[in-house]
Amino acid sequence: MRTKDGERSGRPKEVLTNENILKIHKIILNDCKLKLNEIADTLKISTDRVYHIISYLGMRKLCAKWVSGKLT
């Protein structure tokens, strides 16, 4: 009887990685008017995860643009 699961294909379990954080930050710096679903489609992760990472970065939407929370 085994107690550990084997490797599985599909999305990685952990999405809040330094790589994804940097990618989202670069995407927002290049085009601050992108929507959550556009960023999620680009990175192939859920919009919930994108929102979580953007919140982690301290950013929010203001007048249809992503801005630092410190500026609001």
Domain ranges of the chain: 18-71
* Whether residue 12 has pLDDT greater than 80: no
Q: For 16-72, what is each residue's pLDDT tens digit? A: 789 999 999 999 999 989 999 999 999 999 999 999 999 999 988 888 788 887 655
- What CATH number does the domain located at 18-71 have? 1.10.10
Helix (H) or strand (E) holding 53: helix 47-56
| CA dist., res. 65 & res. 54, Å (int) | 12
| CA dist., res. 3 & res. 1, Å (int) | 7
66 touches 25 (CB < 8 A): no
| Measured CA distances, 29 to 3, 22, 23, 34, 53 (Å) | 45, 10, 10, 10, 14
